[in-house]
Structure 1
Amino acid sequence: MNRCVAILGGTGEARELAAELAGHRATRVISTLAGRVERPRMPTGEVRVGGFGGPLGLADWLAAEKVTAVVDATHPFAERISASAAKAARYAGIPLVLLRRPGWTPGPGDDWHWADSLAEAASMLPGLGRRVFLTTGRQGLAAFARSGRWFLIRCVDPPGLPLPARKELILSRGPYTVDGERELMTTHDIDLLVTKDSGGDQTAAKLTVARELRIPVIMVRRPTPPDVPIVATVDEALSWLGSAGG
């Protein structure tokens, strides 16, 4: 084979890219998953599950597998993984590109309030709502544990403690529909949505419903990405691999 591409995955874009590359006979594709999700959606081709022990461990693995290019297609909020990958690629002398879907943008009728962290989002709850739909994932929920508000918490896997005292927990995985999100939010009398700027279509329906129902949204900003080339689509990642990516 002429090249070996490592895809740091866990997103729909990572799976789409792996499927596209799997049909290239001259390319070996290895997808890596952090192993934090109990039942991940597996990509096409070779898959490695688990951590690397930091940038040096990842750099050693890249060298051992003779990887020629790295595509970081992790979640927009996987800040530590992306930073580690950028360092590892530099250590190993291997080109890396960040595949990052565009974030969401507010439109007419939206009432968005931006926060730089989950802690800041929690501090913004007073005055905005009393029954909160919390869709920020299972990590970091401790920021809301001392709030006296009622929470509808939705995440893929069971979260750890501490959690808010007044809550209902839903374990669910997208994609979600507008009709389904409308029923969920009206049934639970939701008057505030707290979410992260993950972008993409799979979980955007809640934002449409919030607009329809005139529900305010606290939107947590994405962390600053590492200083590496960035592409927004799978097609752009394929073009990068065909040129700078080897």
Structure 2
Amino acid sequence: MRLLLLGGTGEARALAARLHDEVEVISSLAGRVPDPALPVGRVRIGGYGGAAGLRDWLTDNAVDAVVDATHPFAATITAHATAACRASQVPHLVLARPAWAPGRAVVVGSDVEAARVVAERGHRRVFLTTGRSGTAAFAGVDAWFLIRAVTAPDPDTLPADCELLLSRGPYHVDGERDLLQRYGIDVLVTKNSGGAMTHAKLDAAADLGVAVVMVERPPLPDGVEVVATVDEAVSWVRAREVSAS
């Protein structure tokens, strides 16, 4: 059985490690991170040319099933994978880690709306953790920003008054609490990425009474099959393997 595994997430790496002795796993990474954490086994880096290109790639490479374990905000590749798998009649699963409970956070629908909330509420010291693509919306906000990302954003997208912190999780509550206190942060801006790797910032913000603005994740395409854990994804792949044999 040949499985295409989409994603550069921790869940994708864990799934590749679980399955690489059982099926042929091709892990696919977008290539936007210059030094990604690589999974075990075969890795493909780069795009496909949209849904049609991915459909052709699935056919040309005789792929038996696709698991999409991309980041919850990677909506474009998820939409393309859904369309490509339906067109080529390849079984398709989305592994989507559970979202965080927003608690007392202000929930918004986009980076632009998050920037508006920060400005309207007069926040002055912002911990921005929405990733390298999320900084442009805040460029015109009159505040100081601590921006944490795995890869440096384009300098043209950065707010005028900011400090850049390049870092990759996991993070721990004590360290996050220290960071918020050291920089005098009064609001945390985050995407609802879910998972345990970066949840500590929410715990630290709650401990210190720091406000939270949370960008809700985009909806999944209608009709996709979804599981929440690596164990469930392993079971799904094994069931497809039995069917294929």
Q: Same fold (TM over 0.5)?
A: yes
Report the equivalent of 2:72.
76
3-state SS, counterpart of residue 139 of structure 1: helix
Summarize the alignment of residues 1-246 of structure 1 with structure 2, pairs less than 5 Å apart. Answer: 3-24=1-22, 27-107=23-103, 111-125=104-118, 126-127=120-121, 129-160=123-154, 161-227=156-222, 228-244=224-240, 246=243
Distance 2:25 2:107 in 1: 38
Distance 2:32 2:174 in 1: 30
* Structure 1 position 162, deviation (Å): 2.1
Percent of aligned pairs sharing the same letter: 55
Amino acid at match of 1:116: G
Q: Stretches of 4+ moved more than 6 A in 1?
A: none
Higher helix share: 2
TM-score normalised to structure 2 length: 0.95
Distance 1:128 1:233 in 2: 39
Distance 2:153 2:91 in 1: 36
Deviations 1:155-188 (A, max 9, x none): 0011012211111111111111111111111010
Deviations 1:15-50 (A, max 9, x none): 0000111121xx111000000011100001110000
* Structure 1 position 242, deviation (Å): 2.6
Distance 2:184 2:93 in 1: 43
CA RMSD of aligned residues (A): 1.1
TM-score normalised to structure 1 length: 0.94
Gaps (5+ residues) in structure 1? none
Q: Is the CA contact 2:102–2:214 (under 8 Å) kept in the aligned structure 1?
A: no
* Structure 1 position 92, deviation (Å): 1.3
Distance 1:106 1:152 in 2: 22
* Structure 1 position 239, deviation (Å): 1.5
3-state SS, counterpart of residue 34 of structure 2: coil
Distance 2:131 2:53 in 1: 27
* Structure 1 position 244, deviation (Å): 5.0
Gaps (5+ residues) in structure 2? none
3-state SS, counterpart of residue 157 of structure 2: coil
* Structure 1 position 128, deviation (Å): 5.5
Distance 1:202 1:217 in 2: 18
Distance 2:107 2:121 in 1: 15
Distance 1:238 1:181 in 2: 33
Distance 1:128 1:206 in 2: 21
Q: Is the CA contact 1:116–1:221 (under 8 Å) kept in the aligned structure 2?
A: yes
Q: Is the CA contact 1:9–1:33 (under 8 Å) kept in the aligned structure 2?
A: yes
